[in-house]
Amino acid sequence: MANKVRPVVQMAVAWSPYPEFTHGTEGGLPLLPVGWAPKPLLATVRQLKTLGLRPGGHDPVAVLYGYSRTGGAQWFANLYLISTAKPMLAMTPAKWRALAKANLARRCCPECGRDRGYIIAPSLGMCFPCVEDSENTDPATPSEVAA
Ligand SMILES: [Zn+2]
């Protein structure tokens, strides 16, 4: 796999009043190789999250790129201005209730209606005892799994 050679271009950027060196553009945004992005000014979504921030509706101002260590595949990540990021939304009691309700719905078997204490596999659509019962068509050998 031959890595594309990208020319170094000096261009106007959102994070600096002066033209900065980039590797051209990707999707209309300045493209920066790993190590070129100014860490105090730009961050990826995950880096914002570790800072307790979120993009807050702002569009990315640059694209970071690098190569996978194992496969050599190229990867891209959007970079956001830390100065325009907003604090992460706090969990309210209503949000916790909604989350608990959604998790309960994932644990309840639609066949027997019981809270199984684990996530019902969507590929099965029912809990393991119900799968056992539906597969066991011979009435002489009842299911060993306690319901
Ligand atoms: Zn069930």
pLDDT (tens digit per residue) in 59-102: 999 999 999 999 889 999 999 999 999 999 989 999 999 999 99
Average pLDDT of 29-57? 94
Distance 138 CA to ligand 1 centre (A): 19
Same domain, 66 and 16: yes
Same domain, 115 and 59: no
Same domain, 60 and 38: yes
The model scores a pTM over 0.75: no
Residue 58 lies inside a defined structural domain of this protein: yes
- Which range marks the domain in which residue 117 is found? 93-137
Q: Tell me how far apart the alpha carbons of residues 44 and 85 are, in angstroms, rounded to a whole number.
A: 11
Distance 103 CA to ligand 1 centre (A): 16
Hey, which bits of 4-120 come out as E strands? 9-13, 16-22, 25-26, 29-33, 42-43, 53-54, 62-67, 74-81, 86-87
Note the pLDDT of residue 135: 87
| Domain final residue pick, 47, 62, 87 | 87
Note the pLDDT of residue 137: 72
Q: Domains in the chain: how many in total? A: 2
Average pLDDT of 35-61? 94
Same domain, 18 and 79: yes
Distance 134 CA to ligand 1 centre (A): 10
Distance 130 CA to ligand 1 centre (A): 4
Q: Tell me how far apart the alpha carbons of residues 88 and 91 are, in angstroms, rounded to a whole number.
A: 9
Residue 114 to residues 29, 118, 123, Cα–Cα distance (Å)? 51, 11, 18
Residue 144 lies inside a defined structural domain of this protein: no
Distance 107 CA to ligand 1 centre (A): 10
